[in-house]
Amino acid sequence: MKHDKALRTAAELVEAGLLPAGRLAAAEAVARKYAIAVTSTVAGLIDRDDPDDPIARQFVPDLAELSVTPEERADPIGDQTHSPLEGIVHRYPDRVLLKAVHVCPVYCRFCFRREMVGPEGLGTLSPEAMDRAIGYIADHPEIWEVILTGGDPLVLSARRLEDMMRRLAAIAHVKVVRFHTRVPVVEPERVDGSLIAALKASGKTTYVALHANHPRELTEAARAAAGRLVDAGIVMLSQSVLLRGVNDDVEVLAALFRGFVEARVKPYYLHHPDLAPGTAHFRVSIAEGQALVKALRGRVSGLCQPTYVLDIPGGYGKAPLAAANVRDEDGACMVTDWRGREHVYPPVGE
């Protein structure tokens, strides 16, 4: 099957009308540090007449990405702290991340793994590294769920996905396999019969967590792709990031979460933006996020309510940002992690 050819350079973005020629040099400077990829599906969603278009803001490079603030860090959620070997992150007892690939069909300008993904990033796990990762999962009977992330695991061929799933099928204590992806939104034609068969090859319960941040991303083609997955017996969840200038508006969030539910995708997480390098222009405060989530209550059905979470910098895991988990102290936030420990946010120093 022929897949979408993405725009991958600043010059191609200018030629496609997605970037003013006057911003070419700045975008090229950003591209020397962080990967660019915009699929034709995403390019078609961008309003070229709107300088503040929320889709463009997510994918078109901006010079602000080269401004790094003191609290930002290359590994903002502490993947490396909990990585016992290449390709595995084991932060919680009963589940692991399996990072099979560090390539994506599109590159989000706010990505928390932006130092690791892309053509110059960590790449795809070698066969030997994959053997060791699968061996680690097999040797840890407490692992109930394997979460395929990266990168975007659905850029892998159906053959490679099927092989990986069949290897997980042989591990009796693994019961659930979850995929984190943008593919149904940014390259929906990939979601065909062979890919769906590969996702189900383990015989385990398969979940797909779909990342989208603005209701315009839920196109007819994206909804159809989600429908093919759901009709095949795959449960779908959503993940979104709260982003300034993209969805920091209660009506936009309401439309996004209703759109997910209408597409049979259960809203799961609304992430507070991570402290990735060069992403300050996307970040809102925790207080702003809490106010938006509060405003959603009563405005949309309970089906449309995700959990608003912060991945605590340093690798301490996710904390729901309900009022009970956060308190003010001397102008900073004290956030309680899943073990009951408190952390200052933003963190002071490294």
Active site residues: 91-92, 95, 104, 108, 111, 113, 274, 311, 318
Are the C-beta atoms of 185 and 156 separated by less than 8 Å? no
CA distances from 243 to 9, 213, 249, 270, 286 (A): 24, 8, 10, 10, 12
Identify the three-state secondary structure at position 56.
helix
Give me the sign of the Cα torsion angle 55, 56, 61, 63: negative
Place of tokens 């060791």: 132
Q: From edge to edge, which strands make up the β-sheet containing 307-311?
A: 88-92, 95-99, 145-149, 176-181, 205-211, 235-241, 266-271, 307-311, 318-320
Angle between helices 127-138 and 158-169 in degrees, nearest 10: 30
Question: What is the Cα–Cα distance from 326 to 333, expressed in whole angstroms?
Answer: 6
Place of tokens 């385990």: 204
Q: Which helix H or strand E contains 184, and what residues bound it? A: helix 183-186
Question: What is the Cα–Cα distance from 137 to 174, expressed in whole angstroms?
Answer: 8
Question: What is the Cα–Cα distance from 101 to 107, expressed in whole angstroms?
Answer: 14
What token pair was written down for 292?
């938006």
What token pair was written down for 240?
């979104």
Question: What is the Cα–Cα distance from 137 to 318, expressed in whole angstroms?
Answer: 22
Question: What is the Cα–Cα distance from 268 to 319, expressed in whole angstroms?
Answer: 14
